[in-house]
Amino acid sequence: MQEKPSAARALLEHSVLLVFGCTILGAAAQILFKFGAIHLPKPTPLQILSSPWLLLGYCLYALSTVLMVLALRKGQLSILYPIISLTYVWVALLSMLIFKETLNAYKAIGLLIVVAGVAVLGRDGRT
C-alpha cells in the first residue's frame, strides 16, 4: 500500500522537473527573440522566419512544448502550469545580465510575488 504514494510522488517530481526545464528553455527562447529582434532593424516576414537567432528561439520553444506535453501525461495541470510563470523570473534576470536592463523595486516585488505564488501552489503537490 505504501508503494502508490511514493510512485505518485516520483511521477509528480519527474513532471515538475520537466516543467522547470520548460521555464529555462522558454526564457532562453525569449532572450534569443530579443537578440534576433535587435539584429532586424526593418524586419520582413522572410527575415523573421529565417533569422538564425529567431530560428534557434523557435526550436527552444518547440522543445519546451514537447517537455510540457510529457510532463502533463502524468502530472496535474493545476500544479504544473503555474510553474511556467517562473519563466518571467528567468527572463527578467537574464535581461539584466545580457541586455543590461534595470530591475526597479516594482519589478523586484513582482518577481518575488511570482516566486512566492509558485511556492504556495507547489505546496498542494506535497500533501
**Single pTM value for the model:** 0.84
Q: 28 vs 16, 20, 71, 75, 123, CA distance in Å?
A: 19, 13, 19, 24, 27
Q: How high does pLDDT run on average in the chain?
A: 89
7 vs 1, 21, 33, 105, CA distance in Å? 11, 21, 39, 42
- Give tens-digit pLDDT for 48-62: 999 999 999 999 999
Parent domain of 103: 3-126
Q: Which residue has the cell 513582482?
A: 110
Q: Which residue, chain included where needed, has cell 510540457?
A: 68
Domain count, the chain: 1
> What band does 74 get if pLDDT is binned at 50, 70 and 90?
confident
What pLDDT digit, counting tens, does each position of 95-114 carry?
A: 999 999 999 999 999 999 99
Contact 23, 90 (CB under 8 A): yes
Q: Contact, 4 vs 53, CB < 8 A? A: no
C-alpha cell of residue 72: 502533463
Please name the residue that has the C-alpha cell 522547470.
Answer: 20
Q: Helices 86-99 and 105-123 meet at what angle, rounded to 10?
A: 150
Give pLDDT, residue 1. 45
